[in-house]
Each structure stands twice: as structure tokens, then as C-alpha cells.
Amino acid sequence: MVDSLKKPGVEEMRAGTKVPAKETLLTPRFYTTDFDEMARMDLSVNEDELRAIVQEFRADYNRHHFVRDAQFEQSWDHIDGETRKLFVEFLERSCTAEFSGFLLYKELGRRLKDKNPLLAEGFNLMSRDEARHAGFLNKALSDFNLSLDLGFLTKSRSYTFFKPKFIFYATYLSEKIGYWRYITIYRNLEANPSHEIYPIFRWFENWCQDENRHGDFFDAVMRAQPQTLNDWRARLWCRFFLLSVFATMYLNDIQRNDFYETLGLNTREFEYEVIDKTNKTAGRVFPVMLNTDHPDFYKRLEVCVKNNEKLGEIANSNTPKPLQFLQKLPYYASSAWQILRLYLIKPIDAASNHGVVR
């Protein structure tokens, strides 16, 4: 039976199974790639580092970490109303993102097994971690009387095709930004325990180390394929991926301001911190970093935030769909213009520091 008091605004496909959130430009993506091209990659120039990272994966430091304890054994019905809705959404988005990593790594591990065993082992061990992360989050959803049907998600979601080098840029960044998000939330709650509304955040400290190691794996793979990092195309693409990842996170999180405030965070401060840290981390391997201190950087993102609010208002209005589309156009155009102008802000050269910073 659906208890609407406990699950405000949550649609279910059957009792207790949540209808997956609608796919938009801002929801976590599922990826696929050219497996043959990846299988043919020669990693010899950085094989030692890759072997060392895979060795660390094998050590499996978090083998016993993802076990629920007594802290979870209580009713969570006191988290209600809007907070509950935002919290469920946070768990769902996180679970979907972790699960999308699992699917991609698992498939890569399977397809590369015979042709590129070192890479395959790395992917298999990372998929082990992501399965734990997604499972732990899905279990947390069950505390709110919900779960995600991950089998259904696998079949029903559309997959974005990326050539291997784009997979590396995108997954490297999502692992590193994931690391900085988890550790920033963890440290904030450690300092402000009264905002810890649910125990899952205590798991983030060790959890984020998995994401950090996953990021290091992609760092090593890109170094093994220097052409992904050292020509003018790499500079343009790295800029593109940095901007898309930062802008997506910014728009997503500001929209859910109340959730981050519930955790005692100032959402914008949280964004500045995570973006700055990820940008600097990426600068250790990418040839460029974004100039996030440029006075236009957050100003233009804020214009996109405003446009997003307008788009939401239009979508929720009673105006007929075709007319809505016309009303939305100027806001889409404005956001596209802002993103283009953001892309054109002169980046910071990182390649010249690579020998020094590492």
C-alpha cells in the first residue's frame, strides 16, 4: 500500500519500487564505448603505474566497510515532507550514478578480458566497488520504504556512446568530483554533527577513497595514452569536459539548495570548494584547468540558474506544450550563450607545471 505521508511525491512502478527519475540533460548518464579500440590500446609507457594501482585495488581496503550496523535500525519517518523528498532524490541520483559506473566498468572488464587483461582487471575491480556503493545506497532507500529496480534501469535507460578518450575524460572527472563531494560532505558533518540526519554520511570517508583510487586509475590510463593529453585537441576537449561537469553539478545542486542546507552546508560555498579542488586535481593530468576565479565564471553560471528556474516554471504551468516550447526557447538560447562564453574564457595552462606539481 502506498503511504503518501511517508513518500510525498514519490511515484512507484510497483509497491516499494520507485519509478526512475525522468532522464534530462542534468541526470546521471549511462555510457557505452568502442570496446575494440580500447582493447587495442598499448599501455606500455605507463604500465608500471597501472600495475601498482591494480595491485591496490586487489588489496581491497574497503572489503568490510559497506556493512550496515545498528545505527540504521530505527524508523526514519521523522524525516518527512520536503526534506524526505529531497533526501530520497539524493539517494536515487547517487545510486544511479554509482550503478552507471558499475555497468560500464563491468562491461569493459568482460569485453577486454582476453585482449587487454591488465585494463580488464582494473575495470572488474572498480565494478566491484561501484556495485557495493550502489547496493549500499539502494539499501538506504529501503529505509524510506523504496528501492530502485536496477535491472529495469539497465534495460530502460538510453546509453551515450563515447569514444574511449572521452570515456577517460568523463569518468576521470566524475570519479574525482565524486571524491571531493563525498569528502567535503563528510568533513562538514564531522564538524557539525547536529546536521547529520541519517548515518550514511559516516561511510563517506572510506568510500571516497575508492573514488579517489578510481580517478587515479584513469589518470594512469591517460598517461599511458599521451595523445589523449598533449595536443591542441586534448586542450579543447579537456576544457569542454571540465566545464560540462562543473556546470552540470552547479545547476543540479543549486536547484536542490534546501537539501545541502539541511546538511548544514552553504550550497554555493560547497560548489566553490568542490569545483576548485576538482579543477586543481585535474590540472595534475589535464593540460589545462579552468579559470574559475574569472569574475564572469560564477556570474554566468548564475544566469543559467535563473534560466533553469524559468524553464521549471514554464514546464509546471498549464500552458499547452507547443506554446511552452516557444516560451522556453529564449531561456535555452540564453543558457547556451552563457556556456559558450564560459567555454571561451581563457583557461590556465597546467601542462607546464606537470613536472613540478606531482
Q: What are residue 179's phi and psi, to 5 degrees?
A: -55, -50
| Shortest spacing between CB 312 and Fe ion, in angstroms | 29
| Shortest spacing between CB 295 and Fe ion, in angstroms | 34
| Shortest spacing between CB 110 and Fe ion, in angstroms | 18
- Please identify, using beta-carbon distances, which residue of 66 and 198 lies nearer to Fe ion: 66
From residue 118, alpha-carbon distances to 1, 103, 137, 335 in Å are 49, 19, 29, 42
- Please identify, using beta-carbon distances, which residue of 211 and 219 lies nearer to Fe ion: 211
Question: Of the candidates 85, 176, 214, 239, which one interacts with Fe ion according to CB under 5 A?
Answer: 214
DSSP letters spanning 288-303 = EE--TTSHHHHHHHHH
Question: Is residue 98 close enough to count as binding Fe ion by CB under 5 A?
Answer: yes
Distance separating alpha carbons of residues 346 and 103, to the nearest angstrom: 36
- Please identify, using beta-carbon distances, which residue of 46 and 206 lies nearer to Fe ion: 206
In this chain, which stretch among 13-21, 91-99, 187-195, 271-279 interacts with Fe ion, using CB under 5 A? 91-99
| Shortest spacing between CB 216 and Fe ion, in angstroms | 11
| Shortest spacing between CB 130 and Fe ion, in angstroms | 5
CA-wise closest residue to 244 among 29, 84, 57: 29
In this chain, which stretch among 71-79, 108-116, 122-130, 256-264 interacts with Fe ion, using CB under 5 A? 122-130
Distance separating alpha carbons of residues 127 and 121, to the nearest angstrom: 10
Question: Is residue 216 close enough to count as binding Fe ion by CB under 5 A?
Answer: no
From residue 24, alpha-carbon distances to 92, 104, 109, 167, 336 in Å are 15, 20, 28, 20, 16
Residue with cell 559558450: 340
| Shortest spacing between CB 53 and Fe ion, in angstroms | 13
DSSP letters spanning 222-291 = HHHSGGGTSSHHHHHHHHHHHHHHHHHHHHHHHHTHHHHHHTT--HHHHHHHHHHHHHHHHTTTSSEE--
Chain center to CA of 260: 16
- Please identify, using beta-carbon distances, which residue of 79 and 249 lies nearer to Fe ion: 249
Distance separating alpha carbons of residues 9 and 268, to the nearest angstrom: 26
Q: Which residues inside 149-208 make contact with Fe ion, applying CB under 5 A? A: 175
| Shortest spacing between CB 152 and Fe ion, in angstroms | 21
In this chain, which stretch among 18-26, 80-88, 95-103, 283-291 interacts with Fe ion, using CB under 5 A? 95-103
- Please identify, using beta-carbon distances, which residue of 131 and 289 lies nearer to Fe ion: 131
- Please identify, using beta-carbon distances, which residue of 54 and 305 lies nearer to Fe ion: 54
Question: Of the candidates 92, 143, 211, 271, which one interacts with Fe ion according to CB under 5 A?
Answer: 211
Distance separating alpha carbons of residues 170 and 39, to the nearest angstrom: 19
Residue with cell 595552462: 349
In this chain, which stretch among 9-17, 159-167, 211-219, 333-341 interacts with Fe ion, using CB under 5 A? 211-219
Number of residues located near Fe ion, criterion CB under 5 A:
6
| Shortest spacing between CB 65 and Fe ion, in angstroms | 12
CA-wise closest residue to 16 among 34, 28, 32, 2: 2
Residues that bind Fe ion (CB under 5 A): 98, 130, 133, 175, 211, 214
